Structure 1
Amino acid sequence: MTYAHFLAAFLLPALAVAVLVAIYTIRAKGFGSTLRIGGCVLAVLVVVAVMWTAPWDSWIIGRGAWTTPPNSVSARVFRVPVEELGFMAAQVLVVGVWTLALLAHRVDGYNPAGPWPWARAPLTRVSATCLWMALIIAGAVATVASDRLLYQGSMVVLVGIPLAIQRAVGADVLRRFRVLRLFALAPVAYFWLADRIAIGQGTWSISTQYTTGWKILGLPIEEYVFFWLTSLLIVDGLVLACHQEIHRRLPVGSPTLRRIPGHTTRVETHSPQRAG
């Protein structure tokens, strides 16, 4: 099965479902500020995901950790198959649209304009950020220390950097809506299945030299981690971007967001006190 056939068989149906979910959500909830902001952020995430992941993809292809047969792809950009770039964009769209639908339906009590009186928020952000920084360092060490950890270690560095930034900004918000985020990761199971079939059909292959060799149901453990973490980036990015508490923490972003129709940022004001 060529990569193009794989995209037609697995990604086009997933995108079609995403379109139906988007239409249903807009008809049921209207095109309010959550969907407006989320839609703009999702468009940015598509571009950022491709630009951020493509260099790493090119590097692991050059090392031979991830390969495709010569007749499986139509063209390459810096060693990366153009179909792979399409896969990246499609994953962002599928996971992103599903996440926005959950946000619009206020799953897990999600209220983008709600108050945020949590005194432990700074401690949560610092601890979560430090955890991911430690994982990034561990991933970098693993990448250079062992060939069998190259794929996994470099992946943790790739995804860990933006995950750490997200937690520095809003780990407390993410913790509050952890049930919503878990539901939003449901499409990951579909990508695991599609990946397993693609490997079984020879569309691409994962080198045993640069991976641990551990598999679950025939799928390398590294692929489970890859789709989970990359999808988590999409979900968390949208959860944070749509919540006005994050807008208040990042005043630089507020003027840009205010240009989006329907967006309002609640700002607390205090009445001046008369001097006694």
Structure 2
Amino acid sequence: MSSLTYVQFHALYVLPALAALTATAHRRRDRADWRVVASGLAVVTVLAVAYTLPWDRLLIGMGVWTYGAETVAGRLWGVPYEEVLFFVLQPALTTLWTVHVVGPVVSGVEHSRRDRLAGAAAGLAVGLVGLALLASRPTTYLGAILAWAGPVLAIQWAVGWRYLWRVRGRVAVAVFVPSAYLWVVDRLAIRAGVWTISETYTTGLAVAGLPVEEMVFFVVTNCFVVQGVVLFRWVVHRWR
């Protein structure tokens, strides 16, 4: 029997962090055009829900992870309502943190056609590695993450990997901090029985009890959000 429901998980760990970042965001008005940030967040959120929902449903159907008895309120297309809500809350959480640390847009970065092709190829290579890992049952979850991530990374890196590299320190901080926080609360949720990660479809490697696949998942999804917001701001800045 789980000691925590998925709704309680959001109430204890996600919403307070989101509220704290929202409360301090007004101090960063000098670092961001909030109309651009809000537009970027809206685009990222819509894409996150549309792209993640079928992938999530597939892995739930396979049994890659399961939920504790009575921990979810209901399901949309096989995916818990609370999980769909998380597809909205995580981009908001990470975007607000990104605004705190990413700083102003840097001018003067050029991105050629060759750069676009190289970025696309690198992202697709990540996806191909993921597809190869799907051939083995213990690497199914890891392979699914990388195969799913590849197309998104290919698009983002094609748009502006040179700019991301130029501000790599800021991007790294923007990705790492929310990822580390979500690692901790994910481990707490697993311990409380909110969800369970299958031993069949994972490598068995873990850090402090947290499967490495979960760690990779949060790094990848936060990369999606941070890179999406950073690149959106850069593209708008160039248009202007």
Say whether the fold is shared (TM-score over 0.5): yes
SS of the equivalent of 1:70 reads: coil
Structure-2 residue corresponding to 1:151:
141
Q: Distance in 1 between matches of 2:69 and 2:166?
A: 47
Residue 11 (structure 1) aligned with residue 14 (structure 2): yes
Could you tell me how far 1:57 is from its partner in structure 2?
0.7
Q: RMSD across aligned C-alpha pairs, in angstroms?
A: 1.8
Structure 2 unmatched runs, 5+: none
Structure 1 unmatched runs, 5+: 249-253, 255-264, 266-276
Residue 213 (structure 1) aligned with residue 204 (structure 2): yes
> For each residue in 1:101-126, what CA deviation from the matched residue of structure 2 results, as whole angstroms up to 9, or x when unmatched?
334x43xxx43xx223x4x7544443
Bigger proportion of residues as helix: 2
Residue 115 (structure 1) aligned with residue 108 (structure 2): yes
Could you tell me how far 1:247 is from its partner in structure 2?
6.6
Structure-1 residue corresponding to 2:192:
201
- Contact 1:21–1:98 (CA<8 Å) still a contact in 2? no
Structure-1 residue corresponding to 2:99:
100
- Structure 1 length normalisation: TM-score? 0.80
Structure-2 residue corresponding to 1:76:
75
The partner residue of 1:187 within 147, 168, 178 is 178
The partner residue of 1:236 within 210, 227, 232 is 227
Residue 168 (structure 1) aligned with residue 171 (structure 2): no
Residue identity in the other structure for 1:59: L
> For each residue in 1:46-67, what CA deviation from the matched residue of structure 2 results, as whole angstroms up to 9, or x when unmatched?
1211111111111110000011
Q: Distance in 1 between matches of 2:150 and 2:122?
A: 10
SS of the equivalent of 1:175 reads: helix
Q: Distance in 2 between matches of 1:82 and 1:209?
A: 25
- Contact 1:121–1:172 (CA<8 Å) still a contact in 2? no
- Contact 2:125–2:150 (CA<8 Å) still a contact in 1? no
- Contact 2:145–2:217 (CA<8 Å) still a contact in 1? yes
Q: Distance in 2 between matches of 1:238 and 1:44?
A: 9
Identity %: 36
Residue 86 (structure 1) aligned with residue 85 (structure 2): yes
What is the count of residue pairs matched by the alignment? Answer: 236
SS of the equivalent of 1:91 reads: helix
